[in-house]
Amino acid sequence: MEVSLSEAAAWLLQQQDIVILCHQSPDGDTLGSGSALCRALRSLGKRAQVLCGDPIGRRFQFLFDGLEEQQFVPKAVVSVDIADEQLLGGLREVYGGKIELCIDHHPSNTHYAQRYFVNPKASATCEIIYELLPLLGVQPDIATATDLYTGIATDTGCFQYINVTPHTFRVAAQLLELGVPAPQINHAMFATKSRARLQLEREALNTIEYFHHNEIAVVTLTRKMVQESGAEDADTDGIASIPRSIEGVHIGVTIKEKADDLVKVSLRAPQPYNASEICAKFGGGGHPGAAGCAISCGVEEAKKQLVAVISTYLESL
Amino acid sequence: MEVSLSEAAAWLLQQQDIVILCHQSPDGDTLGSGSALCRALRSLGKRAQVLCGDPIGRRFQFLFDGLEEQQFVPKAVVSVDIADEQLLGGLREVYGGKIELCIDHHPSNTHYAQRYFVNPKASATCEIIYELLPLLGVQPDIATATDLYTGIATDTGCFQYINVTPHTFRVAAQLLELGVPAPQINHAMFATKSRARLQLEREALNTIEYFHHNEIAVVTLTRKMVQESGAEDADTDGIASIPRSIEGVHIGVTIKEKADDLVKVSLRAPQPYNASEICAKFGGGGHPGAAGCAISCGVEEAKKQLVAVISTYLESL
C-alpha cells in the first residue's frame, strides 16, 4: 500500500524495536538513510538498529559514530533505499516478505513492502529522510545531518548528476547550516584515493576497449588485477565511471571478475541512454544513468554478451 | 579604493563602452563572470566586450554563445576574478595600471584597481556577479545563469571544496530554477575526458614520486608526454588534482614543462596546509587549497627546489 510521508511518520511513531534494513553492496545513501533514521528513532526513546547483508566498508564507518549496537527482538521492519527484496542479499532469508515500511527514491521500486513511500524525484533517499524528521518531531543533530549530507552527496556525485533539483541544493544549504563538515566528507568520498586504487586505475586504463563505433567502452577488472593492486572492493566502485567519462562514449561498461564463472557488471550511461533497461535484460536494475547486473560466466563471454545486447539496444533507438 | 557592491553597480551604470578583462589561463569563473557581466551590461544598452590574454579553450566556448564581438574604443576598464595585474598576461601592456573596477573573490587580491570589491567569502567571482545583477536592475536570462553556474561549479569542484557556503547552495538552487542545464554543464566540465586526456592521465600516474615521508607527491608532465598524448592545455589542468588525491599526501605538486628552462607548477593542499603560502615563495599565488607559480628552470631542478621549500614548510608547522 502506498502511503504519504506523514502516514509513514505516524506509523513509525507507533512502533517499537525497529530494524532498518540497507541494501547489499551498501552505498552512502542506504547507510546514511539508515543511520539518520536510526538516530531519529532512538532520540524518540525507541530501540532501533541498522542491518546490512554485507559488511560496511571502512570509508562509511563514520556514518555510525556514536550508534552503539542494540540487541532486541525486532517488532517492526523498515527498509531504506532498497528497490527490490533481492537487494537484501544475506538479509533476505530472515526479512524477505516481512518488510512493513519501505522508504525509497528508485523509480524501479517493486513495491514489495506492506507500505511504501517512493519519491523518484528525490535525489537520494536521504533527501526523503530529511523531510521525514520534522514529521517525527525530530530536529536533526550534527551527526544526523552528516549522515544525510553524505547520502545526498554520494548519490548525486557531489551535486553533479541529473537527479539534483533546486530542492536538493536547499536541503544541502540547511544541512551545512547544521554544521556538517562537508569539505572533509567530500574529500573522503570524492577526492581521496588509496595508492592501491590509483594503481588499479592505471591497470583499468590499460584494459579499455571500444566497440560499436566507439560508442561502447569496456573496462575489465580481473581478480588478479584487483589482488595485485591491493585494492579493497570499495576501491573498485569508482572505476565504473571511467569508461562512461570518455568523450563520445554512450554506454560505459565495467566488468569485474568475481569467480571463474561469475562477473559483476556496472553500466553507466548519459541521457538519453538507459543503463537500467540494458541491465534488466540480465536480471539486474538501477537508475537510467547507473545500473548493474551479475552474469554467470567468464569475463570474455560476458563481454561478448554485453556488447551484443548493448549494440542491439543502441541500434533500436 | 574599496567600494561596496552597490557602489560598484552605481559606477557601472554610469559607464559606456566597457571592456571586461579575464585572467590568463582562463578558467570557468573568470570567463563566466566576464560573459555574465557582459550580457548584463549589453542588456542595459551599453557596449561591452570580454577580453582575455590567452585563447579561450574549446570547452568554455559555450559561455559566449550569442555574444557577438563588438568593436569600440574602451571608455571603461573592469577586471573580474583577477587577483593581481600580473595575471593579465598579454593584456598587461595595454591595460596595466588602467583598471577602474575590479570584482574578485581571491583573498590574495593586491588591490591594484582604482576601485575594488573583493569578497573572499564568495565561492567564486560568479557568486558576486549574481549579487550584482539585481543592483544593476538586470534579471538574469538563461544564458547569464548558465555562465554564472559554470563559474560557481568549476571554482568549487562541483560543490566539493571548502569555499562552498549555504549561500552558494542557495544561489545554485536559484540558477537551476532559471533553467540552467546543469547536468550537461557538469558532464562537460567534470565527467568528460578526451581519450588524449585519459592517456595523459595514465602517463601521469606512472610519474608519481613521493617525498618527505610520503607527504609530498609529485607528478611531472613533460612536453613530450603532453605532445604524444595529443592532449590540449585544458586537458592538463585536471591532472593537478591527482597527486593531492592520494591518501596521506599533504601537498600535491604537478610540474608542467613549458620550455627547456621554464616550468609551471600547480600545488594542491587540503586544510590546514596552505598551497598559496608555498607558491608565494616562488612569486606565485592563489588560494590556500590551490595555487600556482612559474619557475625558470628545468623539471628536475624545479622538483628539487619545490621539495626543499615544501619540506621546510611542513617541518615549520
Tens of pLDDT, residues A159-169: 999 999 999 99
Instruction: Give the type of residue at B293.
Output: C
Q: Which CATH superfamily is domain A5-190 in?
A: inorganic pyrophosphatase (n-terminal core) (3.90.1640.10)
Is the peptide bond between B181 and the residue preceding it cis, with omega within 30 degrees of 0? no
Q: Where are the beta strands (DSSP E) in B61-138?
A: 76-80, 101-104, 115-118
Asked if the Cβ–Cβ distance from B202 to A205 is below 8 Å, we say: yes
In this prediction, residue B104 carries a pLDDT of: 98
Asked if the Cβ–Cβ distance from B202 to A198 is below 8 Å, we say: no
Shortest Cα distance, chain B CAs vs residue A139, angstroms: 18
Backbone angles phi, psi at B165, to 5 degrees: -120, 170
Asked if the Cβ–Cβ distance from A202 to B198 is below 8 Å, we say: no
CB-nearest to B183 from A161, A169, A172 is: A161
All cell numbers assigned to B245:
588525491
Q: Which strand ranges, in their side-by-side order, compose the sheet holding B18-22?
A: B48-52, B18-22, B76-80, B101-104, B115-118
Compare A288 and B76 and report the one with higher pLDDT.
Answer: B76
At residue A238, does pLDDT exceed 80?
no
User: What residues contact B147, with CB distance under 8 A and at least 6 apart?
Assistant: B31, B32, B33, B35, B36, B39, B63, B126
The C-alpha atoms of residue B104 and residue B97 are separated, in whole angstroms, by 17
At residue A232, does pLDDT exceed 80?
no
User: Is B209 touching A (CB cutoff 8 A)?
Assistant: no
Instruction: Give the type of residue at A192.
Output: T
For an interface test with A, the pick among B121, B123, B149, B159 (most A C-beta atoms closer than 10 Å) comes out as B159
User: Is A193 touching B (CB cutoff 8 A)?
Assistant: yes
Q: Model confidence over A204-220: pLDDT tens digits?
A: 988 999 999 999 999 99
| Residue showing cell 537520494 | A124
At residue A58, does pLDDT exceed 70?
yes
Q: Which residues of A touch B177 (CB under 8 A)?
A: 166
Give every residue of chain B whose pLDDT is below 50, as ranges: none
Q: Model confidence over A89-105: pLDDT tens digits?
A: 999 999 999 999 999 99
All cell numbers assigned to A258:
568475481
User: Is B169 touching A (CB cutoff 8 A)?
Assistant: yes
In this prediction, residue A234 carries a pLDDT of: 67
Q: How far apart are the first and last CA of chain A?
A: 35
| 3-state SS, residue B149 | helix
Asked if the Cβ–Cβ distance from B166 to A176 is below 8 Å, we say: yes
Q: Model confidence over A144-156: pLDDT tens digits?
A: 999 999 999 999 9
Which residue, among A159, A166, A178, A177, has the nearest Cα to B166 in the 3D structure? A177
Q: To the nearest whole percent, how much of chain A has pLDDT over 90?
A: 82
The C-alpha atoms of residue A24 and residue A34 are separated, in whole angstroms, by 13
Q: Give the number of other Cβ atoms within 10 Å of residue B12's Cβ.
A: 23
Asked if the Cβ–Cβ distance from B161 to A205 is below 8 Å, we say: no
Asked if the Cβ–Cβ distance from A177 to B166 is below 8 Å, we say: yes
Q: Which residues of B touch A191 (CB under 8 A)?
A: 157, 160, 241, 244-245
Asked if the Cβ–Cβ distance from B172 to A169 is below 8 Å, we say: yes
CB-nearest to B205 from A172, A174, A202 is: A202
Q: Which residues of B touch A164 (CB under 8 A)?
A: 176, 182-183
In this prediction, residue B125 carries a pLDDT of: 98
Which residue, among A189, A139, A240, has the nearest Cα to A31 in the 3D structure? A189
In this prediction, residue B291 carries a pLDDT of: 94
CB-nearest to B205 from A157, A161, A201 is: A201
User: Helices (DSSP H) in A83-237: which residue ranges?
Assistant: 92-95, 125-135, 142-155, 166-177, 182-186, 195-207, 223-229, 233-237
Distance of CA A162 to the CA centre of its chain: 16
Q: What are the domain boundaries of chain B?
A: 5-190, 195-316
Q: Which residues of B touch A183 (CB under 8 A)?
A: 160-162, 164, 271
Query: Over A95-130, what HEC string results?
Result: HCCCCCEEEECCCCCCCCCCEEEECCCCCCHHHHHH
Asked if the Cβ–Cβ distance from A244 to B191 is below 8 Å, we say: yes
Q: Which residues of B touch A154 (CB under 8 A)?
A: none
User: What residues contact A223, with CB distance under 8 A and at least 6 apart?
Assistant: A257, A258
Q: To the nearest whole percent, how much of chain A has pLDDT over 70?
A: 99
| Residue showing cell 518531531 | A137
In this prediction, residue B127 carries a pLDDT of: 98
User: Is A164 touching B (CB cutoff 8 A)?
Assistant: yes
All cell numbers assigned to B51:
577580453
Domain A5-190 and domain A195-316 have a common topology: no
User: Is B161 touching A (CB cutoff 8 A)?
Assistant: yes
CATH fold of B195-316 reads Diaminopimelate Epimerase; Chain A, domain 1 (3.10.310)
Q: Model confidence over A168-199: pLDDT tens digits?
A: 999 999 999 999 999 999 988 988 888 888 88
